[in-house]
Structure 1
Amino acid sequence: MTSATVNIEELRALIAGVLEIEPEEVTDEAHFTDELDVDSLLMLEISTRVESAYDVPENTVVISGARTLAELHAYLVSKLVGETSAGPVIRPRPLSDPAARLFLFHHAGGSHLLYRGWAEHFSQDWELCLLEAPGRGHLQTLPLIDDCDRLVDYFHNAIAPLLDRPFGFFGHSLGALIAYQLARRLHHEGDPLPTWLGVSAYGAPRAEAGTDDRPHLMSDDELRGWLRSVGGSTPQLLDNDAVWPTFAPVFRSDFKLLDTWAPPHDPEPLPVPLSVFGGRRDKLIGEDRLLSWRAFTTRFRGLERYEGDHFYVMDHRQPLAAAITAAMRSAAA
Structure 2
Amino acid sequence: MSVSPADDGLWCRRFDPAPDAAHRLVCFPHAGGSASYYLPVATALSPRVDVVAVQYPGRQDRRNEPLIDDIGTLADQVHEVLRGWDDRPLTFFGHSMGALVAFEVARRFEREDSGPVRLFASGRRAPSRYRDENVHRRDDDGIIAEIKSMSGTDDRLLGDEELIRMILPALRGDYRAVETYRCDPGATVGCPVTALVGDSDPKTSIDEAGDWKKHTTADFDLRVLPGGHFYLNSRAAEVLKVLDEHFTARAALRDS
Is 1:317 aligned with 2:236?
Answer: yes
Q: Is the 8 A contact 1:86 1:139 kept in 2?
A: no
TM-score (norm 1): 0.69
Q: Is the 8 A contact 2:28 2:35 kept in 1?
A: yes
1:199 aligned partner, one-letter code: A
**How far 1:237 moved relative to its partner?**
2.9
Tell me which moved more, 317-326 or 166-175.
317-326
1:165 aligned partner, one-letter code: R
State percent identity of aligned pairs: 29
Counterpart of 1:200 in structure 2 is 122
SS in 2 for 1:271: coil
1:39-94: CA deviation from partner (whole Å, max 9, x where unpaired): xxxxxxxxxxxxxxxxxxxxxxxxxxxxxxxxxxxxxxxxxxxx888421011122
Instruction: Give the direction of change, closer, same or farther, for the CA distance of 1:318–1:101 in structure 2 (3 Å limit).
Output: same
RMSD between superposed Cα atoms in Å: 2.0
Q: Is the 8 A contact 1:196 1:331 kept in 2?
A: no
Counterpart of 1:262 in structure 2 is 182
Q: Is the 8 A contact 1:272 1:297 kept in 2?
A: yes
Counterpart of 2:208 in structure 1 is 289
SS in 1 for 2:19: coil
1:256 aligned partner, one-letter code: R
Counterpart of 2:3 in structure 1 is none
Q: How many residues align?
A: 247
SS in 2 for 1:87: helix
Tell me which moved more, 100-109 or 134-143.
134-143
2:63 aligned partner, one-letter code: Q
Larger radius of gyration: 1
Instruction: Give the direction of change, closer, same or farther, for the CA distance of 1:100–1:295 in structure 2 (3 Å limit).
Output: same
Is 1:222 aligned with 2:176?
Answer: no
Counterpart of 1:87 in structure 2 is 10
Counterpart of 2:157 in structure 1 is 237
**How far 1:308 moved relative to its partner?**
1.6
SS in 1 for 2:217: strand
Instruction: Give the direction of change, closer, same or farther, for the CA distance of 1:331–1:297 in structure 2 (3 Å limit).
Output: farther
Counterpart of 1:102 in structure 2 is 25
**How far 1:123 moved relative to its partner?**
5.1
Counterpart of 1:306 in structure 2 is 225
**How far 1:263 moved relative to its partner?**
1.2
1:308 aligned partner, one-letter code: G
**How far 1:105 moved relative to its partner?**
0.5
Candidates 52, 55, 61, aligned match of 1:132: 55
Tell me which moved more, 219-228 or 249-258.
219-228
1:201 aligned partner, one-letter code: G
Q: Which has the higher contact order (CA 8 A, sep 6+)?
A: 2
CA–CA distance in structure 2, aligned partners of residues 331 and 127 of structure 1: 14
Counterpart of 1:278 in structure 2 is 197
Q: Which runs of 5+ in 2 are unaligned?
A: 1-5
Is 1:187 aligned with 2:110?
Answer: yes
1:264-310: CA deviation from partner (whole Å, max 9, x where unpaired): 2422x322011011112211111000000111112233211222211
**How far 1:331 moved relative to its partner?**
5.6
Counterpart of 1:330 in structure 2 is 249
Q: Is the 8 A contact 1:216 1:252 kept in 2?
A: yes
1:83-138: CA deviation from partner (whole Å, max 9, x where unpaired): 88842101112233321100000000110121121123225231000111011122
Tell me which moved more, 215-224 or 298-307.
298-307
Instruction: Give the direction of change, closer, same or farther, for the CA distance of 1:242–1:136 in structure 2 (3 Å limit).
Output: closer
**How far 1:148 moved relative to its partner?**
1.0
Q: Is the 8 A contact 2:23 2:247 kept in 1?
A: no
2:98 aligned partner, one-letter code: G
CA–CA distance in structure 1, aligned partners of residues 115 and 147 of structure 2: 34
CA–CA distance in structure 1, aligned partners of residues 65 and 178 of structure 2: 20
1:151 aligned partner, one-letter code: L
1:93 aligned partner, one-letter code: D
1:184-228: CA deviation from partner (whole Å, max 9, x where unpaired): 1111233x2211110000010227x44x32110011222222222
